[in-house]
Amino acid sequence: MLLGPGLHAHRSSCTYNHFSLLRTWENLFGLQPAVTGINGSDGHGHLAHAGDPGLAPLTPELSAATNPCAPR
């Protein structure tokens, strides 16, 4: 659950886990190899399984008015 004045209520069908949250924080705070000196698990600075292929960060949910993972 995300709360805040800029968020829009919707139900998501995206699959997230705690590494999705870690990846979101790393992206929002700009924690990239140039800043941290750590290449991470994917070469882009994401730590542990936050760099796994196909892992969805929560970032699309922050500005979505509808389900970002709904089939189109």
For residue 12, count other CB atoms closer than 10 A to its CB: 17
Task: Report the predicted TM-score, pTM, of the whole model to 2 decimal places.
Answer: 0.71
Encoding tokens for residue 12? 């998501």
Amino acid (one-letter) located at 10 = H
Number of H helices, E strands in the chain: 3, 0
Q: Check: CB of residue 8 under 8 Å from CB of residue 62.
A: no
DSSP codes, 18-49: HHHHHHHHHHHTT--HHHHS--TTTSSS--GG
**pLDDT for residue 1 is more than 70:** no
User: Predicted confidence band at 72 (pLDDT cuts at 50, 70, 90)?
Assistant: confident
